[in-house]
Amino acid sequence: MKVTVEEGCIACGACESFCPDVFKVEDVAVADNSKVAGNEDAVKEAAEGCPVSVIVVEE
Ligand code: SF4
C-alpha cells in the first residue's frame, strides 16, 4: 500500500492524530511510506477523515 498527500492540505492535523507513525504535519502533511506496513487501517481512516480529501491511498 502506498499513501500520497496531494496539494491542498490545510494542515489541520487530523491525519497525524489518526496515524502519527505515518503522518507528520509541518507546513503541510507529509507521509512516510516506510511506516505504512502495519498501519494500513489507520492510514485508511486518516484518508477518509481528511476534510479536504487530499490523502490518496493506493492498494
Ligand atoms: S487531514 Fe488532510 S488537511 Fe488535515 S493535515 Fe492531514 S492531509 Fe492535511
- Answer yes or no: is the C-beta of 15 below 6 A from any ligand 1 atom: yes
Domains and CATH numbers, the chain: 2-58 (3.30.70.20)
pLDDT tens across 1-31, in order? Answer: 999 999 999 999 999 999 999 999 999 999 9
Q: What angle do CA 2, 44, 40 make, to 5 degrees?
A: 60
Number of H helices, E strands in the chain: 2, 4
C-alpha to C-alpha distance for 27 and 40, rounded to whole angstroms: 24
**What are the Cα distances from residue 7, in Å, to 4, 38, 44, 58?**
10, 26, 18, 17
What's the confidence (pLDDT) of residue 46?
98
- Answer yes or no: is the C-beta of 19 below 6 A from any ligand 1 atom: no
Is residue 57 within 8 Å of residue 27, measured between CB atoms? no
How much is the pTM? 0.96
* 7 Cα: distance to centroid of ligand 1 (angstroms): 10
